[in-house]
Structure 1
Amino acid sequence: MTDEHDANGTEDEHERRLVEGWQGRYYEDFAVGDIYKHPYGRTVTETDNVWFTNLTMNLNPMHFNEAYAAETEFGERLVDGTFVIALAVGMSVIDVSANATANLGYDDIRHHAPVYHGDTIFAESEVLHKRESESRDHVGMVTTELRAYNQDDELVLSLERTPMVLKREFAQPSAAEPTGWPEGIGTQPEELE
């Protein structure tokens, strides 16, 4: 236990304890029709676009050649569409697939509007369908529509994705060993007794 002073300047005792954080949704937590607005918008930078274009060997000059892009109908370079997909999917993981054991598919991918350097992307997912696995007792499939918008509320991307999500009874996260942490790392309950 530690002694601290509260807002009134008097000593106040506080117990140290491990507190569980967000563990992500499990299969049972999804309901058809639910919409999750994913936290944090993300501004796309020129560096994001150039690096991603180079890493993936996308040879379309629209993404890396300013002189070429200036002569197109857009008048400037466009952000690589596969970067926008990766960013939007990544933004959705905290709500949709933090407990996925696999992603089964990405379907009906549509780019509705171009994304430019400096645009800020926001994403949300709507649960379209869910079903238990017929061959694996520990998971169920959840299909969501992922939608990404820019700072002007313009829909720039939509797609459906289907992760295979762990059922709660088969997960064993705890405050001492949250998802992704090996056993014994960091503060342990016996250290707080």
Structure 2
Amino acid sequence: MSKTNPGHFFEDFTVGQVIEHATPRTITEGDRAVYGAIYPTRFAIPSSAQFAASVGLDPHPVEDLVAFHVAFGKTVPDISLNAVANLGYAELRFHQPVVPGDTLSTSSEVIGLKQNSNGRTGVVHVRSTATNQRGEVALDWVRWVMVHKRDQQAPAPETVLPEVAPVVDPGSLVLPAGLDFTDYDTTAAGEPHRYDDYAVGEKIDHVDGVTLSEAEHMMATRLWQNTAKVHFNTEARPDGRRLVYGGHVISMARALSFNGLANAQLVAAINAGSHVAPAFAGDTVYAWSEVLDKALLDDHGLEAPGVGALRLRLVATKGRDETMTLRGEDGKYADGVLLDLDLWVLVPR
């Protein structure tokens, strides 16, 4: 009997199945340093312990997406080792900041299954939860992924499609304990723009671009202990190319958004996300954002001194799109769009 893990294929999943993922992962200052070396991030809270303390966050948290990548990476060997593609996200909420010394463990529940018409693959929906060493929820989210079947003759399961909220309600956002933007220092943060300076419908071209490199995207993916074959093994895809982990594009776009959204200090939730097209080493990634909505959190019953929330569409493109066009006249995504991410961020009022 083989002792190696071949990963789950589509017919191995059942609705209601709960998977406890190995292995717990302790966050260190090394994660902060390597993240900053790979992505051009400059947000003041994860960059400066002094700034973080000045807005009520002490000890000093790492980037929100560090926690996401680590938690997501835990799920890969069991959920998406045999994936064709990660298709989307919903209802992702950050419940509390993650700090060096926190140990994250992740579990997933299968909440939906649908075999594709080709009979060779199917889509698996899971709800994943990452908890810290105290058993507290750090973040949770829904994602759906297309997975190969081991045996094309295996019978299709009953189709179950879960209902997910299109948007996380602002009143259900979880704010970090003690967060207070009342005395927020815009000079230290890098831009003067506050909540009232942004208008619904406004688009922001983040201008800067970064060319993806083979070494960096694989190093980042290994940092999160993401074992998906397509990111490392040129024999895993018919075209012989290593696919860039979609989360790498998310973090790159988030870092690039600093130029124009420097005060979007914390990601509170990801409402939805779609990896529209694959990215490969040599592609140059740019980003733009659209303001979809705004929320005064105290109007929603949340204690949030000096804090407002912006709902943003963050779009990553291959090559710069100065027109900031998401879809063509046919309703399909425009050429060059890599990522379409809908998120809530916290900004000073």
Larger Rg: 1
SS of the equivalent of 1:137 reads coil
Q: Deviation per CA, 1:69-91: give whole Å up to 9, x if none.
A: 22221123211111111111111
Residues 1:144 and 2:160 are matched in the alignment: no
* Most deviating of 104-113 and 72-81: 72-81
Partner of 1:9: none
Partner of 2:149: 167
Residues 1:157 and 2:134 are matched in the alignment: no
Q: Distance in 1 between matches of 2:60 and 2:40?
A: 16
Partner of 2:61: 78
Aligned-partner residue type, residue 79 of structure 1: V
Match of 2:85 among 95, 102, 105: 102
Aligned-partner residue type, residue 34 of structure 1: Q
Residues 1:89 and 2:72 are matched in the alignment: yes
Residues 1:21 and 2:4 are matched in the alignment: yes
* Most deviating of 48-57 and 26-35: 48-57
Q: Deviation per CA, 1:154-173: give whole Å up to 9, x if none.
A: 00100111110100125xxx
Aligned-partner residue type, residue 143 of structure 2: R
Q: CA RMSD in A?
A: 1.9
SS of the equivalent of 2:74 reads helix
Distance 1:153 1:77, change over 3 A: same
Query: Which gives a bigger RCO, structure 1 or 2 (Cα 8 Å, sep 6+)?
Result: 1
Aligned-partner residue type, residue 55 of structure 1: I
Q: Distance in 2 between matches of 1:133 and 1:127?
A: 17
Which stretches in structure 2 are left out of the alignment for 5+ residues? 153-228, 236-349
Q: Distance in 1 between matches of 2:29 and 2:3?
A: 37
Which stretches in structure 1 are left out of the alignment for 5+ residues? 1-17, 171-178, 183-193
Aligned-partner residue type, residue 85 of structure 1: F
TM-score by length of 1: 0.75
TM-score by length of 2: 0.43
Q: Deviation per CA, 1:162-188: give whole Å up to 9, x if none.
A: 110100125xxxxxxxx8696xxxxxx
Q: Distance in 1 between matches of 2:45 and 2:69?
A: 19
